[in-house]
Amino acid sequence: MSDEDLQDRTISVIRGLAMDGPREANSGHPGTAMALAPLAYALWGRIMRFDPAEPHWPDRDRFVLSCGHASILQYSMLHLCGYGVTLDDLRAFRQWGSRTPGHPEVHHTPGIEVTTGPLGQGIANAVGLAMAEEHLRARFGSELFDHHTFAIASDGDLMEGISHEAASLAGHQALGRLVVVYDDNHITIDGPTELALTDDAAARFAAYGWDVHDVGEIADDVDALEAAVRAAMDVTDRPSLVVLRSHIGTPSPEFTDTAAAHGSPFPPEEIARTKELMGLPPDETFHVPPDVAEHMRTLAARGAATRAEWEARLAAWDGDREVLDACLAGRGLTGWYDKLPTWQPGEKVATRNSSKACLNAILDGVPGLLGGGADLTGNTGVAMSDTPVFDADNREGRLLHFGVREHAMGAAMNGMALHGGVLPIGGTFFIFSDYMRPAVRLAALSEAHVIYSWSHDSVGVGEDGPTHQPIEQLAALRAIPGLCLVRPADANESAMAWRVAVERSGPVALVLSRQNLPVLDGTAGNEGVLRGAYVLVEPDTAPAIVLLATGSEVWVARDAAAALQSDGVAARVVSMPSWELFEEQDAAYRDEVLPAGVPVLSVEAGSTFGWCRWADDSVGIDRFGASAPGSTVLAELGMTPEHVTTRAKELLARSS
C-alpha cells in the first residue's frame, strides 16, 4: 500500500470512528468530525509538534477545538496518536465516568489543552495561549519557547460575540503564531447558516488586522490543507484565519451538507452505507486496522525526538532557572509574601488601592504575573508601575491592556493560565463580572489558576446608580463550584488575600472596594484570612451574639459591636472574607468561630441569598440600588452601625 493509500485509509478510519462514537452513545455530532478528518490528519500527521509520551511538554504546539461538539474528532486523533485514549474510551463516548465526555475537558483527557463547549470560548482561549507563548518567548528566549497555537472554529463560534472581542484583541496584539481554521460548512442545527448569518468572515477578520487565507474547496485535499496552514504559519506579524469550505457529513450519501449531520447520530444503515463507500467493513464498529494504527504511531513518534532536543536546550540554558520554574508552576519565589505591605490601624484605604500596592510589591517575587484591566486598569487595582506594557512592540511587558472586552478577557486568561508559564490577572468593575461569567465558570471547571480583581464591590459605587451597583453578584459567584471568592475587610486583609490568590491552584476572585475603608485592629498578618473566617473582635465575656461580616461591612459590624457592648450586650465580630475557604476548614474550627447556640447576624451589602448557611438572620440588600453618593446609598439601605445594632437586638429578642 502506498503512503497516499495509507493516508486515505487513515482518514476513512477517522470518519468511521466519528460515526461510531455518536451512534454508540445515541448522542453526539458526527458530521463536522467527518468533514474535517483530512484537516485533522494534516495537523496531527504533518504539522503539529507534540509528544504523546509527555503531553505537558512546555514547547509543544497547542491545539484548540473551539467547536467542542465535534469532540469525537479530537478523541479519535488522540487514540490514533497514542495518548492513551483507547478504543474502549471511544466506545464509552459521552458516558458516565468516561475519558471522552461530550465536549473536551482539560485535565480529564490527555492531550486536551482547554475546556471548550460554549461556542466562541475556544477562540478566546487560543488568543490567551498565543499571548502566553509570545511573552515567554520574549522573556526566556526562542530556544525554550517557539511554538504555534492552532484552533478550529465553526460558524457558531464566529457568531458568538466573544469571538469578535477576542479576534479584535488578537489583531491588535499581532499574534503571529496563532492560526485559526474556520470550518465554513454553511450548516447549523436549525439548517443552512443563511437562516441567520450573511457575514463576510474573511472581510471581518481582515478588518481586525488578521492575515486571511480563503482557500475554498480543499477540505479533502491533505496536501493543499497542509500548504494552506503552513502559509499561515509563515505570517509572523499577524494572526491568521484560514477559511475552509467543507461539506458536513462527507462522504455520507444521504446526510452530506444537511443539518441532520450536525447534531444527531447517523442511522445504522447510513453508517454501513458510508463505510462501504470508504472501503471499511460495514458491519464492524470502531475499526482501526493495524497498519493504520502503526502509521499514526510512527507519525506521532517524531515528537519524542523534538522534545529531546528541547530538553537538551533547557539543560544548556544559562538563564535564571528558579524564575523559570516559578513561572511554569504559577507560583512565587521562596519568601515572596514577605514583600507584602502592611498598614496601620486608623488609616483609610480602599481595598482596590491596597491590592494594587500588593500587586506591585510582589511583581518580582511572583514572576509569572501578567495581566491588566478591561480598560479600567487604574480603577480596579491592576496598574503595574514598574513594568512596561505587553504589546506588539514589547512582549516582555507584564501589563496587558485587554480593552473593553470583559468576556474575551476572562476566556483569554483561561488560555494563558492553561498554557503555563504565566499567572494571569484581569480587572474590571464587579458588576461586569456578569460579562465574564461564562469564562469564570469554565475557569472553575478547568481549575485554571487565574486571578480576578473585581472592584467597586457594592452600592458604595454611588452615583453611577443601580446599573453599576452589584447586588446579586456575590451570591451568584459563590454558587460556582471551585471558584474561591475573597472579599477583604481592609488593606491588611487584602494583603493576605493575595497569598490566597497566588498559592491556590484554581481561580481566585478578589472583590474590592471603591471607597476608603478604615484599617482595623487585628488584621495585619492575620492568617485567619487564609482560613476564610476568624474572630476579629472578642468581648470580655461569653458572646451573646455573633456579628458575621465580609469586606466593606466589617467595620460596620465592629462599630455595632461596640454600641451593643455599651448597652451590656457581648458581641463577637467575625470577619469572613471567603465562604469557600471557611467551608474547607474542619468542623472543630468552624464551631470555634461560630459557636453553637449563639445567634448569628450576617452583615453584607448585597443579596442575602445563601446566608442562611451561616447566619440566623441577615442585614443585606435585596433590591437594586440608587444613584446618589455612595455613603448616602449605603446609609439609606441600612449599611450602618445603628441599623445593625437594632437588628442585632431584634434577633436576640427573638432568640430568647
CA distances from 595 to 118, 584, 591 (A): 44, 17, 5
Domain for residue 130, yes or no? yes
Phi, psi of 23 (to 5 degrees): -65, -45
pLDDT at 263 over 90: no
Phi, psi of 379 (to 5 degrees): -85, -20
Radius of gyration (C-alpha) of the chain in whole angstroms: 27
Closest CA to 448 of 29, 35, 106, 176: 106
Domain for residue 523, yes or no? no
DSSP conformation class of 520: P
User: For the chain, how many structural domains are there in total?
Assistant: 3
User: Which of helix, strand or coil describes residue 227?
Assistant: helix
Contacts of 486 (CB under 8 A, 6+ apart): 497, 500, 501, 508, 509, 510, 511, 529, 577, 578, 581
CB 40 within 8 A of CB 299: no
Q: Which of 518, 543, 566 is the last residue of a domain?
A: 518
Contacts of 189 (CB under 8 A, 6+ apart): 259, 262, 263
CB 86 within 8 A of CB 426: no
Q: Which three cell numbers, joined as nine digits, stand for 550?
A: 465580609
pLDDT in tens, 112-129: 999 998 999 999 999 999
Closest CA to 505 of 432, 386, 574, 418: 418
pLDDT at 394 over 80: yes
- Supply angle C-alpha 582, 584, 586, rounded to 5: 90
Residue 230 is inside which H or E element, if any?
Answer: helix 222-233
pLDDT in tens, 223-237: 999 999 999 999 999
Residue 590 is inside which H or E element, if any?
Answer: helix 587-593
Pairing of strands 534-537, 571-575: antiparallel
Domain for residue 505, yes or no? yes
Looking up cell 466593606, which residue turns up?
Answer: 552
* DSSP letters for 480-491: STT-EEE--SSH
pLDDT at 1 over 80: no
Q: Give the range of the structural domain holding residue 381, as residue numbers without chain letter.
A: 336-518
**What residues does 518 pair with on adjacent strands?**
348
Q: Which of 306, 323, 358 is the last residue of a domain?
A: 306
Average pLDDT in the 165-182 region?
A: 98
| Mean of all residue pLDDT scores within the chain | 97
Q: What is the dihedral of CA 584, 586, 590, 591, to 10 degrees?
A: 160
User: Which of helix, strand or coil describes residue 110?
Assistant: coil
* Residue 475 sits in the same domain as residue 586: no
pLDDT in tens, 449-484: 999 999 999 999 999 999 999 999 999 999 999 999
pTM of structure: 0.97
Query: Letter for the amino acid at 550?
Result: T
Domain for residue 133, yes or no? yes
Q: In what order do the strands lie in the sheet with 369-373?
A: 369-373, 423-429, 451-455, 508-511, 484-486
Domain for residue 436, yes or no? yes
Q: Which of 464, 489, 518 is the last residue of a domain?
A: 518
* Residue 506 sits in the same domain as residue 546: no
Q: How far apart are CA 55 and CA 112, in angstroms?
A: 9
CA distances from 453 to 398, 496, 579 (A): 16, 14, 18
pLDDT in tens, 622-652: 999 999 999 999 999 999 999 999 999 999 9
Q: How far apart are CA 603 and CA 470, in angstroms?
A: 15
CB 463 within 8 A of CB 631: no
Domain for residue 325, yes or no? no
* Residue 87 sits in the same domain as residue 143: yes
User: Which of helix, strand or coil describes residue 137?
Assistant: helix
CATH at 649? 3.40.50.920
Looking up cell 494563558, which residue turns up?
Answer: 416
Domain for residue 409, yes or no? yes
* Residue 248 sits in the same domain as residue 367: no
Q: How far apart are CA 313 and CA 599, in angstroms?
A: 63
Q: How far apart are CA 135 and CA 128, in angstroms?
A: 11
* Residue 188 sits in the same domain as residue 265: yes
Q: How far apart are CA 566 and CA 546, in angstroms?
A: 16
* Residue 587 sits in the same domain as residue 624: yes
* Residue 201 sits in the same domain as residue 83: yes
pLDDT in tens, 551-601: 999 999 999 999 999 999 999 999 999 999 999 999 999 999 999 999 999
* Residue 495 sits in the same domain as residue 535: no
Q: How far apart are CA 411 and CA 426, in angstroms?
A: 11
Band of pLDDT at residue 656, cut at 50, 70 and 90:
confident
Q: How far apart are CA 278 and CA 276, in angstroms?
A: 5
* Residue 291 sits in the same domain as residue 412: no
DSSP conformation class of 255: T
Band of pLDDT at residue 3, cut at 50, 70 and 90:
confident
Domain for residue 636, yes or no? yes
> Which residues carry out catalysis?
406
* Residue 352 sits in the same domain as residue 419: yes
CATH at 455? 3.40.50.970
pLDDT at 269 over 90: yes
* Residue 224 sits in the same domain as residue 259: yes
* Residue 617 sits in the same domain as residue 639: yes
Positive/negative CA dihedral, 288, 292, 295, 296: negative
CA distances from 418 to 114, 187, 423 (A): 7, 31, 9
pLDDT of 386 reads: 87
